[in-house]
Amino acid sequence: MKARVLIRPKEGILDPQGQTVERALPALGFHGASHVRIGRLVELELDDPEQLPAMCEKLLANPLIEDYEVELLDGGDSTNGAP
């Protein structure tokens, strides 16, 4: 089964990459963008999708500072790692 995991900083957690991009956009002529957050996208194939939440909690995301969303691409549902 294929899956996508979107990982991003939790609300209220400092996001220096997002802040840098937000400051750079107007300098490049792109106005009106705000609250920029930078995350990661992990795509993988796995035999047992039941293991995916544990993979996220133990390796793919840092649950103290990051939230994650799981999308199963072969007809499955999305799972949100946010509280």
Residue 16 above 90 pLDDT? yes
Task: Give the whole-number percent of the chain exceeding pLDDT 70.
Answer: 89
Domain positions in the chain are 2-80
Residue 10 DSSP class = P
What is the reported pTM?
0.79
69, β-bridge pairs: 6, 80
| 49-71 average pLDDT score | 96
Residue 77 above 70 pLDDT? no
Indicate the CATH number of 2-80 among 3.30.1280.10, 1.10.620.20, 3.50.50.60, 3.40.50.970.
3.30.1280.10
Residue 83 above 60 pLDDT? no
Nearby residues of 19 by Cβ (< 8 Å), 6 or more positions away: 36
